[in-house]
Every structure is written in structure tokens, then in C-alpha cells.
């Protein structure tokens, strides 16, 4: 029997003002106060009410999950319970983890890859109470090192598009060359590791995401689009397609998964279950530096490209400003931490337990510090760890995805960078502000002529001026 799977990537970025903890009013979300409320009303809540999460493969981004847990706990619980019912029935769940801040992992350092993946796993365990088998890669951005880190942290599979993989290079024992549709395929990694990769039907996934007419009838969709001979047909797209991007399409999804796909001879399944029942029978290699939403590899989030209109050179300048800030922060962090802990980066990875409320910060420090800390020392370390949290948040992919610097999304990541600067100053007395602002001057909006520095000064509210609060400055660069 043919199998059919729809994967929904459900995600919203961190929207809270880092200084107040509240989401600023987003007028574009009218009549709602912000986009989280709007998209929840249109997508997350109705899909949960209809039971769609039980039949989907899905990932729930950590920043969205945290918001749902606080603002719509019933919807959050329904999503978690959908996975629990599949675990009870099949021994594996249908939820995947996601790298925590939706960072473009191939553009991150290996150490940041490790943290983002570790935090994503920890958030998943916090909500679903088991170690995830699969992980969604933000924007499906991939390189060999990212897969190595996934496998090293116990992730068994991920999802890519066909253009991100080379053809099967060899059949495995009992397998066939080609003809495997979505797979799974084996990717061999260094040190004897391996990971499984599923390949989505790119054409059908994109049609479903962008052609609202295709989803007028679940019956017609099943008859016309699910007639292939592939053993597994996989659609993977933004979960917000079903209700937010296309209003009312949560009903289409429900009818497709519960009625029409089975009616044309397709067994609706999910990826962890399918992998267990059908181990890889062919191998592929991945194409480094590719993604699902940029025809130029990773340029959309690095130097800019024609995927977005206008002059996108601001992206390179903004990323360079963030990269230099991250380097300075990390040097300060490591220098400060070496007096108190043996492994500062393990401490950063484990700090997610404090963010999730699983343990107190002082308990974490007691577990990893090399000696007894004073109250002041403990406060200083925890402040630097909080700074590292926002230093991670400033690489959220949405800040680079769209066409202009003056949009909401770049403003958010500049705000998170500023919060990180503030916290570093609180802990060490060193201000990184002037260097960052100098770099931001080079990032210019082609629509408003605003610079990154203008946005920095415009949108961030300080407890006190950073430039006058701290007396010390980092070395000139």
C-alpha cells in the first residue's frame, strides 16, 4: 500500500520586547494585537480542534510553543496530546524538534550549531517528555557539519528537498537504486555516524503552499495528485498554510488526511513511524549550503540576492555587525567563565534548563562551578548566560528573510543584540555599544534610507544610556 505524509512546519519567531517581556503592538496584525494572536486564531487553534495534529508529521518551534503554553494552554496541550496518542499506538511520536531560534545553521559556527540543536532537543523533551527522533532544519538549510551535529546529539532523521541531494549513489543490501520517492535515504557521516533523510515532493509541496485553488477540494486533490507509484509521497510546507496563508484550509487538511487520501489507497503515516517500518534502502549525498527557499543557496540570509526585491546589500552589513558582536561577546564570556567553570560552552548548552524553568540558575551553577560562588559571582555568571541567550536570538532567520531593513523582523534581531549588549555591560562593565552602532551605520534600508544605527536608536528603550552607564570599552577593532 502506498503511504502519504504531510509535514507541517509550525513556527513563529521570538516577538517579545527583550526589555519589557511583552510583545509590542503590531498594527499589521489588525484586528489582533500581534501576529501570534492572529495566526493562532486562524491556524494553530482550529487545526488542534479538528485533530489535524494527530494525522500530521509536524514540528512546533520552541518560541511558538512557549507562547502557546502561556497564552493558549489548551491548544498547546492538544498538540502535545496528539503526539502522545501516536506514541501509545505506534511506539513513536509524530512530532519533530526544531533548532531553537530558527537560526540558519550552515551560517553558524559549530559551537552555535551545537547550542541551537541542544536547546531545540531540550525544549522538545520539556514538552513531549522524550528525546526526539527527527529535527526540522530552519529553512531546510543544510551542510555536512549540521548533519554531523544532529547525529552526534541523537537525531535520527531530517527532511530536505530533492535539489539538496545528489542521486542515490549505491543500493544497500536488499534495496533498489532509485524509485524510492521520499525515501528515507541514508547519509554517511564522519566517525562512523549516519543520518536518514526524507525528501519532500518539492513541486507538490510548493503548489500546496502557494496555489490556493489547489486546495479547494480535498477529494480532487487526492484523485489528481496522489496517484503516483512512490512508496511514500511526502508533502512538507509551512503549517501556517492551513488556515493563515490560506483561510479555512484547515478543513481541507482534515478532509484530506482523514477521508480522501485513504479513499484513493494511501495510508496516512508520519515519518518516525515510516522510518521504523522502512529503513533506508539507498544512499545519497547532500549538496552543502542549500535551502528550500533560496535559489542561491544561503545568499538570502548572508549577502542578499534576487529572491527579494530591491537592494539587499544591507543583509551582508547586518550579518557582519552581528558576527563581530558575537565574537566580542564570546571572548568576554569565555574569559570571565574560565575562573569559575571548566566548560563554559557546556554551561551555555545546559542554561536552557533555566530558561525552561526546569531548575534554578543557582542549582545549575552549583552543578558545574569549580568552587563555591558568592552571590555576586553567581549573579554575574547568570547575567552573562542570559546575554548568551539573546546573542543566540539575534540570529533568528526572519531578520534576514525579507526585502528591507526597516521591516519588523530586522528590528527584532537588532533589539535582541541590544539586550545582549546591555547584559554584558551589567555583568562586566564593558560596553560593546559603540562598535556595534558603528557597524550598523553601514546597513541601509533601500526604502526608507534608515540605517541599522537609526533603527537601534529608534526602537530600543534603555533603562539608562548604555554609552554612559559603563566606563570601560573593548579594544578598538
Per-residue pLDDT reduced to its tens digit, 181-200: 899 999 999 999 999 999 99
Task: State the distance between the two ends of the chain, measured CA to CA, in whole angstroms.
Answer: 63
Tell me the C-alpha distance between 455 and 31, whole Å.
Answer: 26
Give the pLDDT band (50/70/90) at residue 396: very high
Give the pLDDT band (50/70/90) at residue 381: very high
Per-residue pLDDT, 128: 99
Per-residue pLDDT, 467: 36
In 3D space, the residue among 442, 380, 409 whose CA is nearest the CA of residue 102 turns out to be 409
Helix axis angle, 375-393 to 110-128, nearest 10°: 100
* Number of other residues whose CB lies within 10 A of the CB of residue 166: 10
Mean pLDDT of 391-409: 96
Mean pLDDT of 382-389: 98
Per-residue pLDDT, 171: 53
Give the pLDDT band (50/70/90) at residue 170: low
Per-residue pLDDT, 466: 37
pLDDT reading at 474 higher than 70: no
Give the pLDDT band (50/70/90) at residue 400: very high
For the ranges 100-104, 280-284, 359-363, 462-466, the lowest mean pLDDT is seen at 462-466
Q: State the burial class of residue 290 (Cβ atoms within 10 Å of its Cβ: 0-12, 13-18, 19+).
A: buried
pLDDT tens track for 129-156: 999 999 999 999 999 999 999 999 999 9
Mean pLDDT of 284-305: 94
- 98 has which bridge partners? 136
Q: Please name the residue that has the C-alpha cell 548568551.
A: 388
Q: Please name the residue that has the C-alpha cell 534600508.
A: 445
Mean pLDDT of 143-172: 89
Mean pLDDT of 111-132: 99
Residue 179: left (phi > 0), alpha (psi -120 to 50), or beta?
left
Mean pLDDT of 65-93: 99
Domain map (residue ranges) of the chain: 2-283, 304-469
pLDDT reading at 98 higher than 60: yes
| Domain at 2-283: CATH architecture | Alpha-Beta Barrel (3.20)
Per-residue pLDDT, 94: 99
Mean pLDDT of 445-454: 97
Amino acid at each position: 500500500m502506498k503511504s502519504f505524509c504531510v509535514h507541517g512546519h509550525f513556527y513563529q519567531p521570538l516577538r517579545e520586547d527583550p526589555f519589557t517581556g511583552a510583545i509590542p503592538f503590531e498594527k499589521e496584525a489588525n484586528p489582533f494585537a500581534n501576529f501570534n494572536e492572529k495566526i493562532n486564531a486562524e491556524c494553530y487553534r482550529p487545526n488542534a480542534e479538528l485533530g489535524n495534529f494527530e494525522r500530521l508529521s509536524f514540528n512546533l518551534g520552541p518560541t511558538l510553543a512557549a507562547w502557546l503554553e502561556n497564552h493558549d494552554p489548551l491548544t498547546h496541550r492538544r498538540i502535545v496530546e496528539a503526539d502522545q496518542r501516536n506514541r501509545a499506538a505506534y511506539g513513536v511520536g509524530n512530532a519533530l524538534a526544531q533548532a531553537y531560534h530558527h537560526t540558519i545553521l550552515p551560517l553558524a559556527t559549530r559551537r552555535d550549531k551545537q547550542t541551537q540543536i541542544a536547546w531545540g532537543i531540550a525544549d522538545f523533551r520539556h514538552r513531549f517528555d522524550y528525546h526526539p527522533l527527527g529535527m526540522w532544519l530552519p529553512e531546510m538549510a543544510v551542510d555536512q557539519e549540521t548533519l554531523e551535529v544532529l547525529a552526534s546529539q541523537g537525531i535520527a532523521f531530517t527532511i530536505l528537498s530533492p535539489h539538496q541531494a545528489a542521486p542515490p549513489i549505491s543500493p544497500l543490501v536488499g534495496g533498489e537504486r532509485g524509485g524510492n520517492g521520499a525515501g528515507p535515504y541514508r547519509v554517511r557521516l564522519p566517525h562512523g555516524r549516519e543520518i536518514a533523510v526524507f525528501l519532500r515532493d518539492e513541486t507538490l509541496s510548493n503548489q500546496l503552499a502557494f496555489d490556493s485553488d489547489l486546495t479547494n477540494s480535498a477529494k480532487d486533490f487526492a484523485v489528481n495528485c496522489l496517484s503516483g507509484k512512490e512508496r511514500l509521497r511526502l508533502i512538507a510546507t509551512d503549517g501556517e498554510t492551513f488556515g493563515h496563508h490560506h483561510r479555512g484550509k484547515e478543513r481541507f487538511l482534515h478532509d484530506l488526511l482523514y477521508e480522501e487520501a485513504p479513499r484513493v489507497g494511501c495510508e496516512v503515516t508520519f515519518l518516525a513511524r515510516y522510518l521504523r517500518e522502512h529503513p533506508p534502502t539507498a544512499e545519497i549525498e547532500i549538496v552543502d549550503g542549500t535551502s528550500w527557499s533560496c535559489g542561491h543557496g544561503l545568499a538570502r540570509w548572508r549577502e542578499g540576492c534576487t529572491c527579494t526585491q530591491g537592494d539587499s546589500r544591507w543583509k551582508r552589513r547586518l550579518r557582519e555587525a552581528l558576527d563581530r558582536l558575537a565574537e566580542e561577546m564570546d571572548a568576554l564570556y569565555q574569559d570571565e567563565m574560565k575562573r569559575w567553570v571548566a566548560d563554559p560552552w557546556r554551561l551555555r548548552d545546559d542554561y536552557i534548563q533555566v530558561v525552561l524553568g526546569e531548575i534554578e540558575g543557582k542549582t545549575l551553577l552549583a552543578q558545574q562551578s569549580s568552587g563555591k560562588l558568592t552571590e555576586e559571582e553567581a549573579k554575574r555568571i547568570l547575567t552573562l548566560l542570559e546575554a548568551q541567550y539573546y546573542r543566540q536570538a539575534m540570529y533568528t532567520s526572519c531578520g534576514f528573510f525579507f526585502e528591507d531593513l526597516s521591516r519588523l523582523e530586522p528590528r527584532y534581531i537588532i533589539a535582541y543584540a541590544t539586550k545582549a549588549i546591555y547584559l554584558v555591560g551589567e555583568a562586566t562593565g564593558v560596553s560593546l555599544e559603540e562598535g556595534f552602532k558603528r557597524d550598523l551605520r553601514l546597513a541601509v534600508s533601500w526604502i526608507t534610507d534608515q540605517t541599522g544605527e537609526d533603527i537601534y536608536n529608534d526602537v530600543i528603550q534603555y533603562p539608562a544610556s548604555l554609552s554612559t552607564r559603563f566606563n570601560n570599552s573593548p579594544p578598538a577593532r
